[in-house]
Amino acid sequence: MSETATWQPSASIPNLLKRAAIMAEIRRFFADRGVLEVETPCMSQATVTDIHLVPFETRFVGPGHSQGMNLYLMTSPEYHMKRLLAAGCGPVYQLCRSFRNEEMGRHHNPEFTMLEWYRPHYDMYRLMNEVDDLLQQVLDCAEAETLSYQQAFQRQSGNRSAVCRQSATARRGGKTGSQQRGGDGRRSRHAAATAVYLRR
């Protein structure tokens, strides 16, 4: 790498302009629907309870904490936003920085921007429709196609009869497994569905 390249940002100016436009459109979308934008802390004394997420940890040393106090960068704003919901804030959204340790890839950085929103009293269908509306407005794309899990699987597997046979077998096996081992029959159904797809 040349010396002149070390100071240059990794994001191009055109991409920064696109990002700014997307962020503005997201805010416009929620403002038009009366959803409150909030900003919650990036650090907390409590960490995430999801065992699959690893937080970044730092240490605060200051008045009243001469021995130091552990603080954690938030893996998402969920914890603080749900406190607001419990206090009766109504529908809220947030665009914020989130941090997740031990994760990095081509499309994911340890520090990233997250959009999170909550709609009290919405069922999953209303929320699905709102996600679709958001994507259409922000990305200027067509309306999403709605499929059930069964419809999607049958379309991709191309073998309706095999799906039905495997589903019936899985239901019987799942019931037996639950009775004998106290297990979850859904695991058997998922395994059967996966087997059909892999044999395609």
Phi-psi region of 34 (alpha: psi -120 to 50; beta: other; left: phi over 0): left
| pLDDT one-digit tens code per residue, 87-128 | 999 999 999 999 999 888 888 899 999 999 999 999 999 999
Distances (CA, A) of 141 to 9, 17, 132, 148, 159: 30, 19, 9, 21, 31
Q: Is the pLDDT of residue 182 over 50?
A: no
Of 3.30.930.10, 3.40.50.2300, 3.40.50.920, 3.40.50.360, the CATH number of 12-139 is 3.30.930.10
Q: Which amino acid is at 183?
A: G
| Residue 15 buriedness (CB in 10 A; 0-12 / 13-18 / 19+) | exposed
| pLDDT one-digit tens code per residue, 39-68 | 999 999 998 889 999 999 999 988 888 788
Quick one: pLDDT at residue 6? 78
CA distance 83 to 118: 12
pTM attached to this predicted model: 0.75
Contacts with 197 (C-beta within 8 Å, 6 or more apart), sequence order: 153, 156, 157
Q: Where are the domains of the chain?
A: 12-139, 149-199
- Residue 59 bridge partners (DSSP): 70
Quick one: pLDDT at residue 28? 98
